[in-house]
Every structure is written in C-alpha cells, then in structure tokens.
Amino acid sequence: MTDILPFLKSIISVSGLSGYETPVANLIEEKWTPLVDEISRSRLGSIHGLKKGSVSGKAPRPSVLIAAHMDAIGLMVTRIVDGFIYVTNIGGVDSRVLPGTPVMVHATKSGESLYGVVAMPPANLLPEGQSSGAVALKYLMIDTGLTASEVSKRVHIGDRVSFNTEPVEMSGGCVSGHTLDNRASIAALTICLEELKSKSHAWDVWALASIQEEVTFAGAYTSLNQLRPTIAVALDVTFGKGTGANDYQAFPIGKGVTLGIGPSIHPFLHKRFKEVAEKVEIPVKSEAMPEHSSTDADAMQLTAEGIPTMVLSIPQRYMHTPVELVALKDIQRAGRLLAEFVASLEADFINQIAWD
C-alpha cells in the first residue's frame, strides 16, 4: 500500500482554518488530480473529485459521496495591546493547552506569516479567581517578539492564527501534530482513491474535501445539495482511549476504525460496512452516536429529500489540541475499507436499502 505519511505530514504542516482553507486545499487538489476523472471546487471552496463508475446506460449512474473535512480549528485576532495580540477561537479550541504553544499569525496588512508563542500574564496580575487552574482564553496573548509599532504595522483585527507545531513520527507507528482532525481522514480518503485505481466499481465516487465542518457544516450542506449523491459517508476522527478517556466513548489507537450507529446513520449502510470489514479482516467497533454524530453526516443526511448516510471514524488522542495523535495503520485501514465498500456496491444496491 502507498506510503501516505509524506502527504499527511505536508497537509498538517500548513494552515487552513475554517473559512480560510485555501493553503491546504491547494495541496489536496494537486494530490487528487491524477486519482480522479474530474476535479473542481464549489463556490465556497470545497473540493469535488469525481471517479466514474462502470454502470452503463442512459440513466445517471448511482453515486457514493465520501466526505472528509479539511478545515481546522484556530484563533482570530480581536485586539492588540502594547504589541501583544489577543485572540478568540475559531471552532472548539481548548484554552487549557494553549500557553506555550507556537503559533503562526497570518498578518494581512503586510502579507507575512509571523512566528509567535501563546503566553499568559503572571498569576499575580490575573483577575481574582483566575490565578489558579486553566486561564481563560480572553486573558491569553500572543507574543511575536516585535515592538508595538511593528505589530500594528503588520497585524489587523480579524487576522487568523494557526497552530505551528511540527509533525512528529512517534514510536509504535503513530504520528502527532496539529489538525489531524480531520486531515488524517483526508489521507485515508486519498488512500481510498489510490486503491480504486486498481479496483472495478459500478458506482460513481465523489471525494469531497469539505470546508467549515468545525463551525457551520457549510461544505457538507452546500456540496451535497450541488452533487446530490445516492448515498454518503462522513469520514472523521473519534476519541482515542488514553488517560481520562477510557469509557465507551473512546476507542483504542491502532486497533481499527469505528462504525457509527445512531439517528444520523442509516442502519443498512452500517450493516454493509460491517460485512465488508469482516470479509477483508479489518477490525472495526460500533460507535454509539445516540443524538448527533458531530460530523458532516448530520448535515448530509438532511440534504434534499434525505440521503442515506454512514459515519466511519479513526480513533485519535488529544482532540482539538496542537498535538493530536493517530496510528498510521488506522488511516490505512479506513482508506482500504472505504475502497472495499465502494467496490462491493452492486448496480442495484440502492434498491436493496431498507429499514430493519
């Protein structure tokens, strides 16, 4: 199987915050272009890659859409005081892990990317009640090392700030870095497309790198309305087991992927994925999603008249931090399972779908 690590490291080494995905989108489009028959971008910036199926006839071929969101959480400049930059969150940022984190300030006034570090005031200078425990985001600041006048010349209110931690190859076949949620899934979808180059599949396949999943589901809503696939799969990450995260809501790293089960997931698709996984000996676990899945699936299922939808997830530790961690073999498994699922779809599969 193709070594996906170089591509994965490249896409977690660039920014691409929700609403500002262009830096990573350019890398994904370049990688996907030779793997699909057609590639384009939506009006809002999501990437659509089409790999045509083999079903013949005048009627449109049935299609399966596989979505992995490419946007990332991050920060936005709210004010500048004496050269120090104060920020708010874009998406679900955990302020507990921010102090000491290296960041990149994308300065629009000068067009530069400025290195910075997240700092906090000394405890005795914090308001009463803030001197112990986690410090609220509004009290944290970014120090670029520049003088107040230099910062004001370069940085503007509303400028984006992204994490700047380097990808690290860990022991045990794991990789750590920022934005693995959800670029680990972009890598898995890329593996799927590579696998499908040598597999026959009756259905069309839409590969979707969606925008703004972390804030609005805008990519899922708009692209699904545009493309109108027959069925859809949301590919994302889920919580990996570790210290303090060891109950039914967390799953072991390196032991396989999860299959969602709940209101956002069509049970017939869950059943087919489980059957395919057993056939090709890919370990899977069912993941209970009793309300929302908190993935693009929540939007995709509700498109138009309703689209049968599935959620496939890769376990990940330290969600929404600069040091997220996944196992490379789980990424490979997710990609292969997707390809095997696509290859398993009979021309009349849609007519087999029923509620059990």
Query: pLDDT over 90 for what percent of the chain?
Result: 85
Burial label, 50 (beta-carbon count in 10 A; 0-12, 13-18, 19+): middle
Q: What is the pLDDT of residue 293?
A: 94
Q: Which two tokens stand for residue 18?
A: 């929700």
Q: Mean pLDDT across the stretch 69-81?
A: 97
pLDDT at 356: 65
For 48-70, what is the mean pLDDT? 90
pLDDT-above-70 percentage for the chain: 98
Q: Nearest CA to 16 among 223, 168, 163, 165? A: 163
Q: What is the mean pLDDT of the chain?
A: 94
Q: Is 346 helix (H, G, I), strand (E, B) or coil?
A: coil
CA pseudo-torsion sign 278, 316, 300, 294: positive
Q: Which of 166-170, 228-232, 239-243, 313-317 has the lowest mean pLDDT?
A: 239-243
**Position 271 pLDDT exceeds 80:** yes
Predicted confidence (pLDDT) at residue 1 exceeds the cutoff of 60: no
Note whether 162 and 113 are within 8 A (CB): no
Closest CA to 95 of 322, 250, 317: 322
For the question of whether the overall pTM of this predicted structure is more than 0.75, the answer is yes
DSSP 8-state assignment for residue 207: E
**pLDDT for 43 beyond 90:** yes
Residue 58 has a pLDDT of 59
Average pLDDT over residues 321-334: 97
Range 83-105 average pLDDT: 94
Give 143: exposed, middle or buried? Use CB within 10 Å, 0-12, 13-18, 19+.
middle
